[in-house]
Amino acid sequence: MPTEKDVAEYYDQIYAKKGVNAMRPFDYYRQVFACLGAESGKKLLDVGTGTGHLLKAAKGSGLDVYGTDISPEAVKVAQQNVPDAHLVVAAGENLPFQDSSFDYVVCFGSLEHFLDMDQGLREMIRVARPEARFMIVVPNKNYFLWKVRGEYGTKQKDLKETLMDYGGWKGFFEKHKLKIL
């Protein structure tokens, strides 16, 4: 089992090499962010912010944006991409924010790599206001293209990756009292 240090170093290499192009393009985050229905003036936390593209889209919609990443290099890239974002190096399992701080909590393609997914989700719920909306993107182990290509999982699977089908993820989120929309 990898340690938190192993995970940080793994992602530091990716972000040091690829910078703002390390993950999905900005347009992806802008389009997906629109589905959140966020209201201007509210607070959003992006757990596993990576390049900060989602924060940039949220900032463009008038939100007060916060982000965390386990990788210091990712936080450096995100800070360059969104200079006025509130960013901190932190594992998702130990978020450095007070209870009930955020109106929106998002986590794109990161939860499945957490060393302790249950603790990570508990932390996201803890820092969210009671009426908060969540947008958490996780991989479906039955993803069609993986089957066609004979693959199983993302490029990060060698480090740590939990894959489930829709029912497995639904059960995981419902166990934590989150309603799937």
- At 98, list the tokens: 């007070």
pLDDT of 99 reads 98
Q: What three-state secondary structure class fits 9? A: helix
Burial class, 13, CB count within 10 angstroms (exposed 0-12 / middle 13-18 / buried 19+): exposed
pLDDT of 95 reads 98
List average pLDDT for each run of 10 residues in the chain, which is 181 residues long.
83 75 68 83 96 91 96 94 96 98 95 95 98 93 80 72 93 94 84
DSSP letter, residue 34: H
Question: Which amino acid makes up residue 171?
Answer: G
Ordered strands of the 102-108 beta sheet:
86-89, 64-69, 43-47, 102-108, 128-137
pLDDT of 22 reads 60
pLDDT of 25 reads 65
pLDDT of 148 reads 84
- Model pTM score: 0.88
pLDDT of 150 reads 79
Q: Which helix (H) or strand (E) holds 78?
A: helix 72-81
Query: In terms of Cα–Cα distance, which of 121, 130, 105 is closest to 173?
Result: 121
